Amino acid sequence: MLMEAKNNIKFLFLSMKYNILREMLNKASFLMNVLLMMLNNVSLIIQWVVLFSLKDDFNGYSFEDQMLTISLSALTFGLTFLFFGGVDNIARFIEQGALDKYLTKPKSVLVSVLTSRTQISALGDILFGLILFLIYFHKPTEILLYIVVAFFSFLIMLSFLITIHSITFWFIRFSDTVETLGSAYLSFSMYPRTIFDTTVKVIMHTIIPIGFSIYIPVMLFQEFSIIKLLILILFACLFFLFARFLFYRGLKRYTSSNMAVINV
């Protein structure tokens, strides 16, 4: 059991390494993708600079709070798609019956799929998120807290994507819904929690778990609470275990004839 876990972890890191190195072969394209993503994110900052110039805060949500929100959102998105870009293909692979090549591998099917692809532009999100955070937060304790909450926020986002993609095992042609839910996750994560009404807040703590991945971390910076930190850690770990369980449970239903695809 321990040897299998060790081998899967080794395979995970090797896959991530070679995916990134492959994308970096074309240095011009690599740099362009990273820089364009960072510039795209800067436009979000300009939007909020303008809004906060008109209003000091949004129901207690300060400009620094909003910068932290955007920083966490960018960083978790970047980590997910730089290292586990294959998560975006799960629903399509299920619908097209294209998981066969991963079933024949001796390594974990889920790890193989997750590390099958990288989005190198996501490196721009990671750098943007880190730089934005360091502009407004400098204390060692703040940096340490950021590292901790960012990891578990990333784990929640990855688990959410695995979960919604895995639902495709039970519902054919679910990929459009998956794309909508994924976009909703990213969109909600960019806004202050205080602008939403009660109904939306409930959704963000259940269907789309932004409340745990983004808003609890921000609240920890506003006023640290060991209880909130433990809730974040516990939720992230349990959610990941659930996502993994759902994927492998669905995999038992998988058949390569989900769609009639013939390669000639």
**39-45, long-range: CB < 8 A, 24+ apart:** 40/124, 41/70, 41/74, 41/124, 41/125, 41/128, 42/128, 44/70, 44/190, 45/70, 45/132
Residue 67 located in a structural domain: yes
Q: Which tokens belong to 10?
A: 């080794």
> In this predicted structure, what is the pLDDT of residue 135?
93
> In this predicted structure, what is the pLDDT of residue 145?
97
Range with the lowest mean pLDDT among 79-88, 103-112, 183-192, 216-225? 103-112
**Per-residue pLDDT band at 31 (split at 50, 70, 90):** confident
* Residue 150 vs residue 117, higher pLDDT: 150
CA 236 – CA 214 distance, rounded (Å): 12
Which element (helix H / strand E) includes 168?
none
Residue 257 located in a structural domain: no
190-209: average pLDDT: 88
CA 200 – CA 2 distance, rounded (Å): 42
Q: Which residue has the tokens 């996501």?
A: 122
**Per-residue pLDDT band at 264 (split at 50, 70, 90):** very low
Residue 3 located in a structural domain: no
CA 40 – CA 129 distance, rounded (Å): 12
Residue 2 located in a structural domain: no
Residue 1 located in a structural domain: no
Residue 4 located in a structural domain: no
The whole domain housing 141 covers 9-251
What is the number of structural domains in the chain?
1
> In this predicted structure, what is the pLDDT of residue 6?
65
* Residue 42 vs residue 17, higher pLDDT: 42
pTM of the model: 0.88
First to last CA, the chain: 41
Q: How deeply is 20 buried, as exposed, middle or buried, from its count of CB atoms within 10 A (0-12, 13-18, 19+)?
A: middle
Residue 93 located in a structural domain: yes
Q: Which tokens belong to 102?
A: 């991963």
Residue 128 located in a structural domain: yes
Is 207 a residue whose pLDDT tops 70? yes
Which element (helix H / strand E) includes 19?
helix 2-23
> In this predicted structure, what is the pLDDT of residue 260?
42
> In this predicted structure, what is the pLDDT of residue 176?
85
